[in-house]
Amino acid sequence: MIGLDLSGADLSGGIFQESWFSNAQLVGTKLIGADLYRSDAEGADFSGADLTRASLVRANLDDAVLRGAVLDGADLVKASLYGVDAAATSLRGTRLMGASLIDVDFRGSDLSQASVQENTFKVIVDETTKFTGMSGTLFGPVQLITRESKKEISGTELERWLRELGGDVQVLDRRG
């Protein structure tokens, strides 16, 4: 499915393990409960797609667009998200354990009830990003963009900030 335009299709419940969705157009596509285990979706456009309860375990989503997508209850264990536009995305109750999130834009996104475990979490957030009930462990730093400034927060400062927003996340130190 490399480069195919599947925009608006209903692929809910589909089994696409180890499939290639590189540079595919999946705008507004329904992938509810779909299984994309170890799939390669590098550069794919999932804008406005519904991936509720989808399995994206070990999926490659590098350079993908998830703007406005719904990933509520999705499983992104050990997934790779590098350079992803996930602004205004809903990730309520999503499992992000062991996932690599580097240069991911989460401005305006909802990560409420999400679970993280030893995640690389070098992401971009803003005042509207939600972390209520987010739990687990992660490595920072996070880039916080507000109307007045842009600053990087990490360590105990990041942990304290996430707790103020209703999260229960421990920020780990990188050693070695």
pLDDT tens for the 176 residues of the chain, in order: 788 999 999 999 999 999 999 999 999 999 999 999 999 999 999 999 999 999 999 999 999 999 999 999 999 999 999 999 999 999 999 999 999 999 999 999 999 999 999 999 999 999 999 999 999 999 989 999 999 999 999 999 999 999 999 999 999 987 64
Range of the domain at 55: 1-176
Q: Is the peptide bond before 141 cis (omega within 30 degrees of 0)?
A: yes
Residue 39 gets the label, from left (phi > 0), alpha (psi -120 to 50) or beta, of beta
- Rounded CA separation 19/85 (Å): 21
Residue 115's pLDDT is 97
Residue 170: other Cβ atoms inside 10 A: 12
Cβ 45 vs Cβ 22: under 8 Å: no
Q: What are phi and psi of 49, to 5 degrees?
A: -75, 155
Cβ 123 vs Cβ 139: under 8 Å: no
- Distances in Å between the Cα of 56 and the Cα atoms of 9, 126, 132, 172 are 18, 25, 23, 25
Residue 175's pLDDT is 61
Residue 18's pLDDT is 96
Number of domains in the chain: 1
CATH number assigned to the domain comprising residue 52: 2.160.20.80
Closest CA to 107 of 61, 66, 158: 66
Is the overall model pTM greater than 0.75, yes or no?
yes
Residue 20's pLDDT is 96
Residue 146's pLDDT is 92
